[in-house]
Structure 1
Amino acid sequence: MAEEPAGRAPAIRPFLLTAGRVSGGNTGPPLPLETQVVSTSAGLAVLHSLTFEQHDIVAACRRPQSVAELAAGLRLHLNVVRVLAEDLCAAGHLAVHRPDAGTVQDISVLRRVIDGLRAVSDSGGT
């Protein structure tokens, strides 16, 4: 029988990581895929005290990136990243830059996000 690879347990369900919460909850709509997130100095200062997933998100956001890129890069469910990013923003550990409403309606932006996700998944390999 083959051994399970070391690392994050794949059996952990997304609702366990978010305590059953969903993105947006009572704060409005979910974070759009193209929303840019970046660590704050306060977030980096408390990096050692964050939970595993929160730590990974804040550490990965030393450079700005979209929510979609972050989820793909960390191999976490998109909605988990959305919920945790909202929590981290509320705590002052992340700065969230929502896209301009006009940009959201631009199909070329969506096409670039899709192309970027494909590039990430293609380069991730197995």
Structure 2
Amino acid sequence: MADGSPHPGREPVGPAPAVRPFLVTAGRVAPTAPGRPVPVETQVVATAEGLAGLDGLSFEQHDIVAACRLPQSIAEIAARLRLHLNVVRILAEDLRAAGHLTVHIPVSGDVHDATVLRRVIDALRAIPDSRGVVRDTD
């Protein structure tokens, strides 16, 4: 009570429960567009309309569009924003359909190229953790 908490001596609420991704995607586990989910190395970039409409987007959508001022892969966005990979896939597809993002799916032959995977791994390792420490890229 003195610390502003309704239950003195108890820890504040921790991370959101596991059901949160379900809520963020309105219960969807796959994008509404037909076809398979976009690969994790798919590059997305914000459109001018997306950046202009940031204030009208939900929290996660806003963060995704704002993070995509420069091209980012789906995997990089998920890691940077600490969102579930499938949530980012679904929201990125929604944002693409609304004109807020441009999605660049790699050519299918490139998907199996080990250098593409290595670049994605290196980029993910270069993202600082919660303490600001960058992981070793070797």
Q: Does 1:124 align with 2:129?
A: yes
Distance 1:26 1:98 in 2: 14
Which residue, out of 41, 54, 66, partners 1:34? 41
Please list the CA deviations of residues 12-46 of structure 1 after superposition, one character each: whole Å capped at 9, or x if unmatched: 52111111212345521111111000110111111
Query: Secondary structure, in 3 states, of the residue corresponding to 1:96?
Result: strand
Q: In structure 2, what residue type is equivalent to 1:19?
A: A
- Matched with 1:113 is 120
Q: Percentage identity across aligned positions?
A: 63
Q: 1:14, 1:52 → 2: CA distance?
A: 13
Separation in 2, partners of 1:124, 1:10? 19
For residues 37 and 80 of structure 1, what CA distance do their matches in structure 2 show? 15
SS in 1 for 2:126: helix
Runs of 5+ in structure 2 lacking a partner? 1-9, 132-138
Q: Note closer, same or farther for the CA distance 1:114–1:95 as it changes in structure 2 (3 Å cut).
A: same
Q: Alignment length, in residue pairs? A: 121
Contact 1:35–1:98 (CA under 8 A) maintained in structure 2: yes
Instruction: Tell me, in whole angstroms, the C-alpha distance in 2 between the residues paired with 1:78 and 1:54.
Output: 14
Confirm whether residue 92 of structure 1 aligns to residue 96 of structure 2.
no
Q: 2:12 is matched with which residue?
A: 3
Show the counterpart of 2:52. Answer: 45
CA distance in 2, matches of 1:72, 1:47: 21
With the length of structure 1 as denominator, give the TM-score of the two structures: 0.85
Which has the larger displacement, 109-118 or 49-58? 109-118
* RMSD, matched Cα: 1.8
